[in-house]
């Protein structure tokens, strides 16, 4: 990395009785100490000669912040989806238990009584994920198109054309051709959260920005949008696992 010596070692420290593992990266020419916390944990950046006691002092002084940040990240970590019988998937905000049935020439998915019955040729995770994702996409389009139509009519807008995308970083988008796009993954969220995203995109048909006037329009269509937006932000890692 940038030509200098750079070595990373694993360390751990006790903070308020909690053992915290971290990566310590030492680099020639580094000035001061840096603490970084993200989805992969804590990283401390230091120079080649910074004594361990200074590093531990810095972490200790920031213990409350470190534990809080690590807690926030562990809460928001995207758990990998398991694709086996008994695993759960979210659909319209409710967990559905996967029931796999292999050996079928033609795959099929049926949702019933809190379960998702999946018939597949082979029950490899890749095959099951593909079959289930395809089924989600099929459910997503009519649900989203219907809600967009409903809210558009209710609020005097010409209903837009609705498309479903595989975006995993944004829930919706819209353009000046009155085309509204939603990620099919949104169908994992409860209906009220979906409605908030639908109203958000419809409000963009009147205001192509995030101005105060735009948010007023969102509020008119979706009076509890603030709570719903916060709930979506808090939970969106749960809708991104596949
Ligand atoms: Zn927007």
Confidence of residue 4 (pLDDT cuts 50, 70, 90): very low
Tell me what percent of the residues of the chain surpass a pLDDT of 70: 97
User: Which of 16-20, 127-131, 134-138, 161-165 comes out lowest in average pLDDT?
Assistant: 16-20
Q: How far is the CA of 233 from the centre of ligand 1 (A)?
A: 14
Task: Summarize pLDDT for 161-190 with one digit per residue, the tens.
Answer: 999 999 877 899 999 899 999 999 999 999
Residue 40: is its pLDDT beyond 80? no
Residue ranges of domains in the chain, CATH in brackets: 6-76 (no CATH), 88-239 (3.30.2010.10)
Ligand 1 geometric centre to CA of 172 (Å):
8
Q: How far is the CA of 152 from the centre of ligand 1 (A)?
A: 16
In angstroms, the CA 78 to CA 196 distance is 23
Measure 174 CA to ligand 1 centroid, in angstroms.
Answer: 8
Distance 173 CA to ligand 1 centre (A): 7
Q: Taking a C-beta distance cutoff of 8 angstroms, is the pair 97, 115 a contact?
A: yes
What's the gap in Å between 230 CA and the centre of ligand 1? 14
Q: pTM for the whole thing? A: 0.72
Model confidence at 72: pLDDT above 90: no
Residue 151, C-beta contacts closer than 8 angstroms, at least 6 positions apart: 157, 195, 198, 199, 202, 221
CA atoms in the 13 A half-sphere facing the CB of 18: 14
C-alpha 69 to ligand 1 mean position (Å): 27
pLDDT at 195 over 80: yes
Ligand 1 centroid to Cα of residue 137, in Å, is 22
Check whether 6 has a pLDDT greater than 90. no
Centre of ligand 1 to C-alpha 215, Å, is: 9
Q: How confident is the model at residue 5 (pLDDT cuts 50, 70, 90)?
A: low
Instruction: Give the pLDDT of residue 73.
Output: 81
How far, in Å, is the centroid of ligand 1 from the Cα of 214?
Answer: 9
Ligand 1 centroid, distance to 218 Cα (angstroms):
10
pLDDT at 208 over 60: yes
Under 8 Å between Cβ of 186 and 93: no
| Number of C-beta neighbours around residue 43 at 10 A | 15
Q: How far apart are CA 177 and CA 83, in angstroms?
A: 39
Q: What tokens does 197 get? A: 């995203």
Using an 8 Å Cβ cutoff, are 170 and 183 in contact? yes
Distance 222 CA to ligand 1 centre (A): 14
Distance 216 CA to ligand 1 centre (A): 13
Question: What sign has the CA pseudo-torsion 66, 67, 73, 76?
Answer: negative
Q: What pLDDT band is residue 79 in, cutting at 50, 70 and 90?
A: confident
Mean pLDDT of the region 62-91: 89
Distance 24 CA to ligand 1 centre (A): 39
Please classify residue 172 by burial: count the beta carbons closer than 10 Å to its beta carbon, then call 0-12 exposed, 13-18 middle and 19+ buried. buried
pLDDT tens digits along 96-106: 999 999 999 99
Q: Two tokens at 85?
A: 């019988």
Q: How far is the CA of 196 from the centre of ligand 1 (A)?
A: 11
């Amino acid at each position: 990395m940038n030509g200098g010596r750079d070595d990373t070692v694993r360390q751990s420290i006790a903070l308020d009785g909690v053992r915290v593992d971290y990566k310590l990266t030492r680099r020639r020419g580094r000035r001061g100490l840096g603490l970084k916390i993200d989805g992969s944990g804590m990283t401390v950046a230091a120079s080649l000669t910074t004594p361990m006691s200074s590093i531990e002092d810095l972490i200790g002084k920031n213990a409350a912040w470190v534990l809080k940040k690590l807690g926030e990240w562990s809460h928001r970590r995207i758990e990998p989806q398991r694709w086996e019988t008994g695993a759960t998937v979210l659909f319209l905000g409710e967990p559905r238990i996967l029931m796999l049935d292999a050996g079928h020439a033609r795959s099929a998915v049926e949702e019933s009584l809190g379960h998702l019955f999946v018939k597949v040729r082979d029950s490899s995770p890749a095959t099951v994920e593909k079959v289930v994702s395809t089924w989600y996409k099929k459910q997503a389009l009519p649900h989203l198109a219907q809600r967009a139509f409903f809210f558009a009519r209710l609020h005097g807008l010409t209903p837009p054309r609705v498309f479903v995308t595989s975006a995993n970083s944004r829930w919706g988008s819209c353009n000046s051709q009155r085309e509204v796009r939603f990620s099919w993954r949104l169908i994992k969220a409860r209906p009220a959260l979906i409605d908030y995203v639908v109203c958000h995109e419809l409000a963009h048909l009147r205001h192509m920005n995030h101005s105060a006037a735009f948010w007023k329009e969102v509020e008119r269509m979706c009076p509890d949008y603030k709570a719903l937006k916060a709930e979506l932000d808090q939970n969106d890692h749960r809708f991104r696992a596949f």
